[in-house]
Amino acid sequence: MLCYAWDRLDEANTLSVTTEGKTEILDLLSSVLINGVQRCLKEGIDKGYVADQEEVRGIRGRLSLQESLQRLTFIRGGAVCDVDDFTANVLSNQLIKSTIWRLSRTDGIDTSLRSRLRDLSRRLDNISLRTQMRRVDFRRVPLHGNNRLYRLLLNVCELIFDSSLVEKGDGRYVFKDFLEDERKMRRLFQRFVQNFLKHHQRIYQVSVDRFGWNFDVDGSPTNSAVPQMETDITLKSSDKIVVIDTKYSKEALQSRFEKKTLRSGHLYQIFSYLKNLEARGYPYDSAEGILLYPTVQSEVDASFAVQGHRINVRTIDLTLPSDELKRRLLRALIAEEELKLSEADSFGVHSPQQNKALFANDR
């Protein structure tokens, strides 16, 4: 799910992610990081030019006249120069090594993984340790075709840094399971479904819709106090619109008077999207809605029509093997008759660039 959410499928396929039977999320992330860094060391780790200032004999690089005069280096036959060194001690490797160092000092990690992390840290002895990492540091790393595997590794590092590690008084760290953070997991779940659909079907264009309330002419507000609406995912074809609202709730149903019912707040939300999109005309005036939940205790598959719109409420088991998960998720989001059109083409698997070209041709 994380590889889809980060849109890092190519990197994940390049890297053989062997989890070795690990089921704890901390151990899984550690295994991915270890395997990825070992792959980078084997093929050649990322290097770049780093600016440094040093005193040299003669002149090398760019002369820093003011520093040379202040230090009286000319008397010694030397000069202070700004030199660009081509080195592996760059930001990307510093962030990865620092994450490895933290993981090796985290409570609860598998003993064998801890040992491998420490060995890996020693192999990176020429890389500086950043004991004070910041979230903005991950945005400063230049990524390109020559270090594409770093995209996935840095996503793993950022996830660990951002929500999982808290320093204790004794210098060790505690892992906070981000799977319990409903708000963060809802965003990851949304991006997972969105990128999944971009990669594994060619029937619809996948996008996000932003729109205002469909006010009556004489009832329009005179200020900007009313917020805009935004769908999680909108599937568009020439004659059909499907609005998908992803919900990462512990249970798709609510209990009321000892009776299980669909969550009313979620139904109101998806229905509001569909009714306000009607103002765009055909095919929005008959748009369908899907509420999608991960399966927790029981599966849900409900469908009903209301005021010209069909609303479906479905769950998907994220613990299924990948091939079965793909199959079931496609059938949960796309009508059976539409899927038959793409099944002959291995579920219509295309890259986002290919999908864009296909829809351009359709128009």
Instruction: Tell me the pLDDT of the chain (363 aa) as tens digits.
Output: 888 888 877 776 666 555 555 557 888 889 989 999 999 999 889 998 887 777 777 666 667 767 777 877 777 878 888 877 788 999 999 999 999 999 998 888 899 999 999 999 999 999 999 888 898 999 999 888 778 889 999 999 998 888 767 776 777 888 877 777 778 889 999 999 999 999 999 899 999 999 988 877 665 655 567 889 999 999 999 999 999 999 988 777 777 777 888 899 999 999 999 999 999 999 999 999 999 999 877 789 999 999 999 999 999 998 888 889 999 999 999 988 787 766 645 444 444 454 444 444 443
Q: How many angstroms separate the first and last alpha carbons of the chain?
A: 32
Sequence letter at residue 66: Q
What residues have CB less than 8 Å from 285, skipping those under 6 apart? Answer: 278, 308
Q: Are 96 and 160 in contact (CB under 8 A)?
A: no
- 82, 99 in Cβ contact below 8 A? no
**Interacting residues of 26 by C-beta distance below 8 A, sequence separation 6+:** 103, 106, 108, 109, 164, 175, 177
Measured distance CA(103)–CA(90) in Å, rounded: 20
Say what the pLDDT of residue 15 is: 63
Count of CB atoms situated within 10 Å of the CB of 16: 9
pLDDT, residue 21, reads: 52
Structure tokens at 289: 């809605």
Cα-based angle 218, 222, 225 (whole degrees, multiple of 5):
120
Q: How far apart are CA 113 and CA 302, in angstroms?
A: 44
Query: Which residues have CB under 8 Å from 292's CB, separation 6+?
Result: 193, 244, 245, 246, 247, 314, 315, 316, 332, 333
E strands, the chain, where? 48-57, 62-63, 78-87, 165-167, 173-175, 205-207, 210-211, 229-230, 233-236, 241-246, 253-256, 259-262, 288-294, 301-306, 309-316
Q: Is 319 strand, coil or helix?
A: coil
- Indicate where the chain has its CATH 3.40.91 domain(s): 183-362
Select 183-362's CATH number: 3.40.91, 3.90.1200, 1.10.3470, 3.40.190.
Answer: 3.40.91
Q: Output phi, psi for 129, to 5 deg.
A: -95, 130
pLDDT at 305: 95
- Give the span between the Cα atoms of 342 and 348, in whole angstroms: 5
C-alpha–C-alpha distance, residues 276 and 287, integer Å: 11
